Structures are given as C-alpha cells and as structure tokens.
Chain A
Amino acid sequence: MKKLLRCFIFLTIFMVLFVNVFKVLWMDNSPLSHFYREPKNSIDIAYIGASNVYVHFNSTLAFQLYGFSTGLLSGGSQPFLGVKYLLKDAKKLQNPKLYIIDLAKSGSSSFSESGFRGITDSMPFSKNRSELIDEGLKYLDVKKEDYYTYYFSHFIYHNRWKDLGKANFSLEDNFYKGFFLGNSSVTTKHFSSRYIWPSKSIPIDDKAKEILFSLINYIKDNNLNTLFVIPIRFYGNEEAQRINTVVSILEENNFDVINFNKVSGLHINFENNLYNNDHLNIYGSTKYTLYFAKYLKEHYDLPDHRDDKNYAS
C-alpha cells in the first residue's frame, strides 16, 4: 500500500511537471487557446473561422458596447473542415446562443498543415479532437508513420527547447480575449478602391461540398442558431466565385448569410483600413466591430453582462 501510494505521488508530480514543461515548450498563445481558457458557459457567441475572425472582430470592444461575450474560435489559415469540430467543442463547453461562421475558407477543401495544426494543437485531448485529426489526415499529405505527432503534439514541440526565450515563460501575448492587436495599426496604402464582389459562381470541389454538407447536417441535427458571414477583404476572383456557390447552398438550406463586402454601412476605407490583402487594421476592425456588434445586438436576443461581477476583469 505504501509503495502504491509512493508510485501514485511520483506519477502525479510527473504529470504536473510534464504539463507545465509542455506548456513552456508549446507556448500555446494561439487565439484559439484563449477560447479554451474561458469559464464554462460564459460565452454568448461562438465566432468560428480563420484569421479574419481574430483580426477583425474586437470582442472586448463589443462587450464594452453591448455587454455580450464573444469567444473567438479562430486560427491562422484555419481550414473550414475544422468548423464542425469547433462547433462541437463550443456547444459542449459554452452552449452559446449564437454561432457565427466565417466563410472565407469555405470554397476549397485544401488547407495547410500549419493551419490544421493551429486547431488540433490548441484543442484539449478529447474524442472530438481525435475525430478531427482522423478526418484531417485524409486531406493532408502526411506520412503514415508521422500520424501520431498530430495526436500527441509533444513529439513535435519537444524540439522547441532550442527556440525558448523569455516570452515562452510568460502568458502575456498580443491577443485580447482572442482578438489580435499585433500589426493592426499598420496601414497598407496599396488599395485605392474596395474589392468588387463578383456575381458569378463556380462549383466547389466534391470534398469541399462534403465538408459543407457535413457541417449543415450537424447544425440542423442540433438545431443551432447560426449566422454565416463573409469577411470584408480582397479575394482571388475564383475564390469569391466559389464562396458564391457555398452561399447558394446555405441559402437553399435557409441559413442567414451576410456578405460584408456588399454591406455599405461599414464605411471601410480600403486605402487606410487594411494592413494587407486579407486583413483589416485596427481602424478597419474597429469600424467592423462597431457595425457588426450593433447588428448582433439588434437581431439576436443577447444578454448584457456589463454589471455582472463574474465578467469583471
């Protein structure tokens, strides 16, 4: 019995050390990690998508203005394939009143390994994470013998000991409740006019269709209150035309879609409000947040937590 107890204590200390060492090695300051740090059932809106989400929507500002809380389930080049699985996690952990899904990456089934790892490495161990990895590995060109590194990302990140710096030993970063403030004040002066959204559509590939319908079915089966959005930015022509096809499918299935590239009330100035082709800067994101937060407050029944002590920071 004494030996068993000693063994248990040894393993417990080991696990505590391991988790903390791993935290330093894989300094998980991704925007998505912020979502998983939120207290259970404290989020009113789950906003899911690629980098446009964490760069465009200032959830703190929205809270200050209207009092609803928004969790940003977002990551750089986040594949659309991950949306269903992030929805599942959002539903399980927060059960929000509204799910907003960014469609920027919905037109194609191809995605990068880093974008995929951005989700899987930030998700806690769960069946849902495993299923996402199983699904994602079908799309990625990864050697079978390296599959295990997706399930146990430690096998990748233990090598980061060479890159450790002061920042890795601190939780401070440029994300505020998942919203990114890094390069936001930079202004790109390359664009003289806004992107003109095409009216044409071109078909999406079968796999992208499969991913989309799988998401639609999940939302319908679980009766989730969902809003789809197309972020304002520049697009490749075919990219936008494929998104048009996605929009048609969604509208056929009675979902609400907002294409912010067609919304005039935003007042985004493409000369001063973008910091690169794909992202708004702080001025643009403030305009976007002001508009979109107001829209959400007006169209959805969202609570005001501003006087709630549990939401004070």
Chain B
Amino acid sequence: MGLISINFLLLAVITIVLYFIIPKKVSWVVLLVASLIFLFYDNFNIKRVLEALIVFGTSYSCGILIDKYHDSKKAKVFLVLGIAIIIGLLSYLKYSNLFINTVNHMLSIINLPYSFKLVKHSSLIGLSYYSLIMISYLVDIYRGTNKSEKNPFKLALFMSYFPILTSGPFIKYNEMKEHLYNGHKFDYDRMCRGLLRIAWGLFKILVISLRIGIFVDKVYGDINTFNGVYIIIAMLLYTTQLYTNFSGSIDIIMGVSEIMGIPLPENFTAPFFSRTITELWRNWHITLGGWLRDYIFYPLLKSNVMQKLNKVCKEKFGKKIGKKIPLYLSMLIMWILIGIWHSGAYSMIIGSGLLQFVYMFFEDNLSPLAKKVNKKLKIDSDSKSYHIYQTIRTYVLFSFSMIFFRALSVKRALKTIKNIFVWNPWVLFDNKSIYEAGLDILDFRVLIIALIVLFVVEKISRKEDVRDKLFKCNIFLRWTLLYALIFAIIIFGCYGVGYDPAKFIYQQF
C-alpha cells in the first residue's frame, strides 16, 4: 500500500475517524487493526505472517525474560538470543544474496569452479524498520531504560504502527508508549498542522521528486546517450529527488500521526544547508543515525575488544593517533552496516556507507591543513561566501556518492562516473538538447520555482517552525499561501496516468 494511494487515504481517514470516536482507553486498538491491515494488505500469506510472528514472538518473550532476569547473566543470554533471531531472519530474507555474491566472488578469485545460486526472497513491508525497532526495544530493557510490555497486543502495535512501516522514522518504546497507548482528544489546530505537513510532503514528492525522477531515470537509463553534462545534472538532481521523496513521505507519515496526537521523531532538519558531510548526516535520516549510534557505534567503541585495541594502538602509535584507530574502526563498521541496511548491494555499501566514511575521515584529518591553507591565502573561513562554498562542496560530494546509490551496481556506477568526462557543455546552451531527457522547458520552469520554494522553506525551518510562522500570518496571506500550495500540487503534481506515485525510493529498504 503506497503512501500516495486511495487505499492509504481511506485507511488513514477511517483510522483517524474511528480513533476519535472510540473511547480513549481502547483507541489504540484501532491503531493496531489499521497497522495489521497496512502490514498485510499487499502481502497476506502464511510466510509473511510467520516472519512477523517470529520477530514479534522473539521480542515479546525475550523482552519479558530479560526483564525477569534483569540482575543475572541470563538477561544477557536472552538479549543475545533475541537479537540473533531477529538479525538472523533479517539477514536471511534481505541479505542472503550479498553473502552468496561475496562467496561466489571469493571462489572466482581463487579459481574454484563453484558458485552458489542467488535466492529469491520477498519480505514483508517494513521488515528492516520493525526489526531494528524491536532490537532497540530489547536492548533498552536490558539497559534498564524501559520495562517489557506485558500486553502482547500493545507490543504488536509498537512494532507495526502503520505510518512508520514504509520509511520510518525509527521509534523508541519509552518515547512512544505514552503517545501510542493513551488515547487523544480531537484537536482542530493539531489537525490543521497535520494536514499542512501532509500537503507539504505531497508537494515535495509530487511536484519535485517525481518530476526530477523523470529526468534522472532517463539519464541513468541510457548513460551512453545522456553523458557528460546530462550525468552531472542528473547526479546533482538525484540527491534532491532522494531527499524530497524520502522527507516528503516522512512528512505525510508525521502529518497523519500528528492528527491523532502521536508525535514522531524528526528525521530531517534541512540537511543540504550542512557545511560538512558529518553535519549533513546529523540532519539526514536522523533516527537511523541515532539508532546506529546508540546500538552499534557506542557499544562497539566501548567493547572490550576496542578498549584493548585502543590500548595497543596508543602504545604503538602514540596517544593522538592511537586513540583514533578504534574510533575510525567503529565508524567504518557502522558505515558498512548502514550500507548493508540500505539493501545489501555492493553499490549501496559503497555509496551510502564506505564513501561517507572516507569523506568524514578526510574531513576530520584535513581540516587542520585546510585552516592553514585558508590562512595563507587570506580566505576568511567565517565569511558567508566561504560557508556557501562549503555547503555546495558538501552537496556535490554527497551527490557524487549517490551515483553508487542510484546506479544499483558498482560496474554501472563506475561506467556512469567515466561517462561524466564526456565533453558536451553545449547541451546547456543549444536550447534543445537538455529538453530531450524527459523534461521540457515548462517542466524545468516549474521545477526551478518549486526548488526555490523548497529552499526558502528549508532556510526558514532552520530558525523556526515554518508552520508556526504560517499560522501567525494574517488570514489573507495564510489562506493565499495554503491555496497556492494545494493548487500547485493539484495542477503541477506528477500523478495520474503515466506516473507512479507509489514509487518511494526508501520504501524498498
């Protein structure tokens, strides 16, 4: 069930109406039923039910047992067991082919005439999301941050809360339980805010993302014809496509949830104003970053192995360099895991994992050198122009890494990079060629205006809540802006026959 579909609209509307009609005490049951409908709507069969039941059953029983044996070693056993089952299932269903490909590749390197067949698995929508959510649930019980949920139906709701199943954000049990299980009264202002957020999400997806997608798909679909400048433009636009698509779907999800009075954690805070890749990742897919930091990076860094490594490295390379080695190693592992989580393809591991690590590594280590160079060249690194340069540099570097993300295979990504170096700048000036890649001049005009609107809104959002600002405006300005937003979506949105609004890039993960 796509987020932009009649079915989702119906489900959301019916759920919201019933949620407020039914007594507050049991209104969470409506959410549970809606979530189960959403979960199994496109994919109801015994295998899918079993998958969900394994994750749920493991989380429920291990959660209670960890809680019960909290002060004994058994708690750790049940934690490890729970995580192993969930990760095992997730790996089997989503990452088997990564493993098989790696083994086959190794076998071919040592010239062994064996290869394993790739497997075909389809998994339930949201598996990657709810698996990690349930791992955090178990770890938090083990850490004593929260107690286990005794009511299996309530835990089932936490695991399957329908708005977050397609694209996140990642939620934590102790932050969500009050909001999920205690009903809320209908609030008109909250509904308006939620609807506005949904409309903004639709604008991002239908007017910007899907429009860019036409150009990007055409260029990446035929990189031999559309090379050079075409690829550079597609590369730069794809990052915005990805962002508007992902953050737009998060806006819809958060809007629906907000109407019911259930706040979700923010997943983006204007990432493309960031001046470094490190800063960008603090503002991009925030909840995934937070999850990995809390449940992978810090535990890894504090693990006995890393502490020992820290000691050894300090002795061998000195305090300054020695302490950085375990840090970078933990970072590297975390970034590889981010890459794997994004589908398990090598190109993803490079694009959304390794390259990001490389960028951060160099950012960290080259910044003293950059400061010296700036001083020598008398460049004011606090100036506005320098900040703009840094912002553009970060965007371009991130966009470059996204070539691997978009190309879907390393071979194709490398070919795409090679084809960037074809010299054809005239396609920008002959007033014809650039319009052969799917978007005509009118589409480009709409896109440019929409991107300016996005830029302005994102810029404002760094200082204050845009919706607060809008609702403070006088009624004429406010309604004019609202109608402009709604009609921009209705008229300029890419939907209807020939478009695929259900094409959410992040849904595949």
Name A's B-contacting residues (CB within 8 A). 3, 7, 10, 13-14, 17-18, 21, 25, 146, 148-149, 154-156, 158-159, 161-162
Contact = CB atoms under 8 A, between A and B. Distances in A.
B63 interface: no
A123 to B, nearest CB: 19
A161 B493 CA distance: 11
A7 B475 CA distance: 12
Interface string B480-496: 00110011001111011
A148 B188 CA distance: 31
B490 A158 contact: yes
B497 A149 contact: yes
9 contacts: A7-B188, A13-B479, A21-B490, A25-B491, A155-B497, A158-B490, A158-B495, A161-B492, A162-B442
Contacts, number: 36
A10 to B, nearest CB: 7
Contact of A155 (B188, B483, B487, B495): B495
Contacts of B491: 21, 25, 158, 161
Contacts of A25: 491
B493 A158 contact: yes
Interface residues of B, number: 16
Contacts of B496: 149, 155-156, 158-159
Contacts of A161: 442, 491-492
Contact of A14 (B188, B483, B492, B495): B483
A17 B497 contact: no
A156 B6 CA distance: 16
A208 B307 CA distance: 83
Contacts of A146: 497
A65 B442 CA distance: 50
Contacts of B493: 158
Given A14-B486, A25-B491, A158-B495, 18 more contacts: A3-B188, A7-B188, A10-B479, A10-B482, A13-B483, A14-B483, A17-B487, A18-B490, A21-B487, A21-B490, A146-B497, A154-B490, A155-B496, A158-B491, A158-B493, A161-B491, A161-B492, A162-B442
B440 interface: yes
A116 to B, nearest CB: 15
A148 B496 CA distance: 9
Residue among A14, A155, A158 facing the most chain B CB atoms (10 A cut-off): A158
Nearest 4 CB-CB pairings of A with B: A155-B496, A3-B188, A162-B442, A161-B491
Contacts of A162: 440, 442
Contacts of B492: 161
